[in-house]
Chain A
């Protein structure tokens, strides 16, 4: 599924502004990454920094920061969690976030609350796609992947 060339994966969970995605893992963790919309807006990503594993990050406190074109900024965080793992491949080559935004995850985190509570502010499936599409159209976002 896509809108204006921005790829969307229905099985993932998204924040309501379609900035980040999260995938439920069998071990009770969430894998977190940036959406195609976010990587396109950011442009070529040169730096990613993930907080140390074991660090607790409440809602609103970022799990990671990125930098593109001299702009630094947090990757938004919508659930209270503890960081378990950073994706070493992305830390070494942050540009992967531009090339394959749904494969290049940023961090694996463990929500402090039960999964349903952690995901209560996220959306998935058709309702997530409606919001995703609305964001693309409202802000006239066109996605491009694969930049080096």
Chain B
């Protein structure tokens, strides 16, 4: 994997780029993934130019490139509900798509976007998409790493792939949200699938339906995103979208489809669920009861995902969700440092709860032991 410099290069090579906007419509996950492959290859080969693609999915569960299906999804449920499981070219976590959601993606060469390292590139693209969503009247902002949020709740998840000079970076826009269904499909750190779990997810994820008095049309969402990209990156962005996929892409499609339908593609990473157990612990302190549920990567000794709950009071109100974001994929050895930094940098007041309490409950969860009273 390669990339440009570590700081943002303020050169304006990307200014004046002419972007095609494609709306490829509603397809199943196989077709959409194959189109990603074909578009990226066409752009890498110089057969097609920089593109913003809008896409929609039939019911699907999409794994991040390096994820294992058995570790991330309830595969039996997916099979019984006709939910297609596919693997993305891009990194990041598993997501659920249904026809009501909109996907967006940029497929281009690195020179078409501001220079910088991978973090810079993610930030630039997410800030552009967030600016677009703000045109709809929601206060969307970029939250490292790679999510777009509204008041602390995620509204768009993103991920990218970089192959030589060509890249594809994609995101979702949550138009509507079916949390119970999401909880059935994805393995997320909740104690059990009940009203509390639904409430807990609703505190962390949001949708345009929740935020806006009237749901905008798909076209309005697309137009807002195009505006965001245009204002952020400059250049020409063809709108309304061209409806036809170029020949340089369609001719690559059969081979791309064969690739993503090959069982080796989905089985590319296949590890048993036992290596990624859900663990939990409860800690009682003078500041209240703190509960942590952890999706634990036994092999890599990492906290894949963490969710806190309990009768605790933390200020600012979004601090706990921010801590969860900071802890995502963190190694057990860096726990102390991450929690201390969160407590200090975010000026957290946990009303009697100290950083060591958060560390202790997580360590207990990981060890799958009962936390002592501190």
Contacts and interface: CB of A to CB of B under 8 A. Distances in A.
Given A71-B160, A141-B5, 13 more contacts: A42-B1, A42-B3, A47-B65, A47-B66, A65-B66, A67-B65, A68-B1, A70-B91, A71-B1, A71-B161, A72-B91, A73-B162, A139-B6
Interface in B201-234: none
Interface of A: prevailing SS? mixed
Interface string B107-147: 00000000101110110000000000000000000000110
Contacts of B5: 41, 138-141
A140 B89 contact: no
A58 interface: no
Contact of B90 (A47, A68, A70, A93): A70
List the 6 shortest-distance A-B pairs measured between CB atoms, nearest first.
A73-B1, A139-B5, A47-B66, A72-B91, A41-B3, A72-B65
Nearest to A67: B91
B6 A140 contact: yes
Contacts of A120: none
B76 interface: no
Interface residues of B, number: 41
Interface in A43-90: 43, 46-47, 49, 65-76
B163 A73 contact: yes
B65 A92 contact: no
Contact of A71 (B159, B268, B301, B329): B159
8 contacts: A41-B6, A46-B302, A67-B66, A71-B90, A71-B161, A71-B162, A141-B6, A148-B331
Contacts of B2: 17, 19, 38, 41, 73, 76
Contact of A74 (B92, B163, B302, B331): B163
B199 interface: no
Interface of A: 17, 19, 34, 38, 40-43, 46-47, 49, 65-76, 92-95, 138-142, 148
Given A70-B92, A148-B333, A94 B162 contact: no
A95 B292 CA distance: 25
B171 to A, nearest CB: 10
Contacts of B91: 47, 67-72
Given A70-B159, A71-B122, A72-B65, A41 B117 contact: yes
A95 B331 contact: yes
A7 to B, nearest CB: 15
A46 B329 contact: yes
A47 to B, nearest CB: 4
Contact of A93 (B159, B160, B301, B330): B301
